[in-house]
Amino acid sequence: MSPSPKNNPENTMEILKTIHKIMQDKKCEEIAVLNLESVHSYLSYFLICTVNSAVQANAVAREIKKALKGFKLPHKETDKTGTSSSSGWTLLDYGEFIVHIMTPEKREYYNLDRLWRDAERIELS
């Protein structure tokens, strides 16, 4: 079994950069990477982005899943909202990495950026 990303800072940064690059390549907007380690006991990172359609959300989720297979992270297929065109929010749970792919309406309504405002924002550009 490979070491947990939490125990390997280089691996953690590689995963964050991989997800961030996919979000950029797929034309996601308002990409945010939040380090939750100082404000939550078992979550480490939220990666949040805004998409303009279900098609775009599905493409982003598919690419992230494909890219992260090599890291052998635990992945829960129990998305809170699924990937239907009506949900507006796709959640990918990789344990300490949680990816939120949201429409502008869902992002504004749930406002995870405000909810987790005490978390450190990481710039990966």
pTM, two decimal places: 0.86
pLDDT digit string, tens, across residues 81-113:
454 556 899 999 998 899 999 999 999 999 999
Homologous superfamily of 26-117 = Beta Polymerase, domain 2 (3.30.460.10)
pLDDT digit string, tens, across residues 43-89:
799 999 999 999 999 999 999 999 999 888 887 754 454 545 568 99
At 42, give phi and psi (nearest 5°).
-120, -10
Residue of 78, 82, 74 lying closest to 57 (CA atoms):
82
Give strand ranges (E) for the chain: 29-35, 45-50, 89-94, 97-102, 120-121
